[in-house]
Amino acid sequence: MPISTSSVGGGVTVVTVDYPPVNALPVQGWFDLAEAVRSAGADPATHAVVLQAEGRGFNAGVDIKEMQRTTGFDALIGANRGCHAAFGAVYDCAVPVIAAVQGFCLGGGIGLVGNADVVVASDDATFGLPEVDRGALGAATHLARLVPQHLMRAMYFTASTVTAQTLEHHGSVYQVVPRSELHDTALAIARDIAAKDTRVIRAAKEALNGIDLQNVHRSYRYEQGFTFELNLAGVADEHRDAFVGRTP
């Protein structure tokens, strides 16, 4: 299944994304992911969630091909609402979410990881927002949770990427490990958290969200407003058509 949930014991639930070839999620995929994470956190038996993906990369953002073969704005609106739901589900999950990132983490992947509680990454992982090259905006809210302000702006304007080692240096990636050790590392952290009193951990998650300086839900929706403007102006379609035309 594209989005699957499994209990691995010890109070840990694993949510896995598998959308070959690059984990670019269609509209429904974002809503399904949101529901999987939300449901996992709502289950009293779950004390921690691991969010991972199959394949060579963690996430390549929205399925632009789906958007371009859909007439009107339904796919665009769906993708924006779906991303908002999925990012919010990770942030609002009642228990800590550990993101296990391999390969590329782009676009919507940054939204997921930026809202996670703990991030572990393989030593080949890279992170970035190619939004400006696609005629869109968004997820600067979440990139700003991973890197300092000026680096975020440079990455955003240039659509460049940084390595997992860079994020480890800035403290937003907790551990960088060989890809073969990524799954077990994420599970070990999740089990460490899950072994603690879940009543305390759930209260701690709510408390930490409550003292955040940035309202991530409102901030991201503000960014999305500019994406709609670019679409109405026809700018975004130009860039998406060019992207679809040069991809296999």
Can you give the residue range of the structural domain that contains 57? 3-182+198-245
DSSP track, 202-244: HHHHHHHHHT-SS-HHHHHHHHHHHHHHHHHTTHHHHHHHHHH
pLDDT at residue 248 in the model: 47
Residue with tokens 């890279």: 126
pLDDT at residue 246 in the model: 60
d(CA 53, CA 4): 10
What predicted TM-score, i.e. pTM, was given to this entire model? 0.95
Instruction: Provide the domain count of the chain.
Output: 1
Task: Say if 108 falls within a structural domain.
Answer: yes
Task: Say if 123 falls within a structural domain.
Answer: yes
Local structure of residue 133 (DSSP, 8 states): G
d(CA 46, CA 11): 5
Task: Say if 46 falls within a structural domain.
Answer: yes
Q: What CATH number does the domain containing 51 carry? A: 3.90.226.10
Backbone angles phi, psi at 11, to 5 degrees: 85, 10
Mean pLDDT per 10-residue interval, the chain, length 248 residues: 95 98 97 98 98 97 88 88 98 98 98 98 98 93 98 98 98 98 98 98 98 96 93 87 72
